[in-house]
Copies of this chain bind each other. A is one copy, B any other.
């Protein structure tokens, strides 16, 4: 005796529909697939549709896939992307695009363990995904596992030299230029420091690409205006790193910085703290600009002006490309624009040369006033 719950649901199949409509499975298949390349009488079509609706028919995607070799499914394999605060956005962008194209998305993550990768990719391939998106948390070069060769793959937020697949990455160089322009427009021409981003100054594949390209864009644009970076303070990516780096920057001798270009919003957060500790105001004494646009950027006072890494657009673009791109895919790199979110942290440089805030209630600071 079955339980009182839902009826013992034998799934309704296409031949159930065909039988009820009084046609063959073939005919049913054609009308249900909405195909027109075979002539079906209007009457038959009606009966099939009607039967399908009456029976609550839903095609079995598994059976269909076995036959067609297409699962309408795509796999996302990432290092530790779900860990990062912006990951949600790339996943959401990918999800939206996948939904528009009636595909479902498998998400996997190696958790940073490269040894886990082959197993995950095999699991995806075993399930016959139509395509895979290989994603990295930070823009960098990667080496996708060999099983992926010859498959339909797009690289998200990474570049894979020697692996024939397109990449979708933020336009870091453009972002750097935009950053420079924002500063230039506010009147900054000197005392501009780059802070944060280990490997900021290295070139790929040793450092992160993001840092290298950004810095290039930044310096290029500055140079075009006859200006230059006053210096670079390398440090980690976190708030604490930024705070320490900026504290040291302020403590060292020399002309005071007028603008800080931080590698991440997190380092900018730390920069705000260090600046406040020194009694310096943003943007009155020092302008701050960064990259990411995490949500807290708008909560800070003043709001943090930052270049919004286009996570959502990246996710969307990757899926659109992998599903809708040419066959085979061309191994180009697609650079997605990085818009500026202008908030209050960039302003005109302090009038009268950079000086370190004079001693106040906060405590004695050495008079280190200098003109540049």
Shortest C-beta distance, A284 to chain B (Å), equals 12
Which one, B88, B104, B150, B277, contacts A124 given CB within 8 A?
Answer: B104
| CB of A49 closer than 8 Å to a CB of B | no
Shortest C-beta distance, A246 to chain B (Å), equals 12
Chain A 43-67 near chain B by CB (<8 Å), digits 1 or 0:
0000000000000001111110110
Shortest C-beta distance, A151 to chain B (Å), equals 8
Assuming A126-B61, A149-B7, A371-B276, is B82 touching A95 (CB within 8 A)?
A: yes
We find that the number of chain A residues with CB closer than 8 angstroms to chain B is: 80
| CB of A5 closer than 8 Å to a CB of B | yes
Docked-complex contact A104 and B91, CB < 8 angstroms: no
Which one, B106, B120, B371, contacts A106 given CB within 8 A?
Answer: B106
User: Which B residues are CB-close (under 8 A) to A102?
Assistant: 123
Binds B, one of A170-178, A191-199, A358-366: A358-366
Assuming A150-B9, A371-B276, is B71 touching A82 (CB within 8 A)?
A: no
Binds B, one of A31-39, A224-232, A295-303: A295-303
CA distance A278 to B367 in the complex (A): 8
Docked-complex contact B299 and A240, CB < 8 angstroms: yes
User: Which B residues are CB-close (under 8 A) to A7?
Assistant: 149-151
User: Which B residues are CB-close (under 8 A) to A367?
Assistant: 276-279, 362
Docked-complex contact B128 and A61, CB < 8 angstroms: yes
Shortest C-beta distance, A14 to chain B (Å), equals 13
| CB of A355 closer than 8 Å to a CB of B | no
Docked-complex contact B82 and A92, CB < 8 angstroms: yes
| CB of A27 closer than 8 Å to a CB of B | no
Binds B, one of A107-115, A206-214, A338-346: A107-115
Interface residues of A (CB under 8 A from B): 3-9, 58-63, 65-66, 71, 73, 82-85, 87-89, 91-92, 95-96, 99, 102, 104-109, 111, 116, 120, 122-128, 146, 149-151, 164, 238-240, 266, 269-270, 272-273, 276-279, 295-296, 299-301, 328, 360-364, 366-368, 370-372
A-B contacts, 16 of them at CB < 8 A, read A3-B146, A6-B149, A6-B150, A7-B149, A7-B150, A58-B126, A59-B126, A61-B128, A62-B65, A82-B92, A105-B108, A273-B368, A276-B370, A277-B367, A296-B296, A362-B366
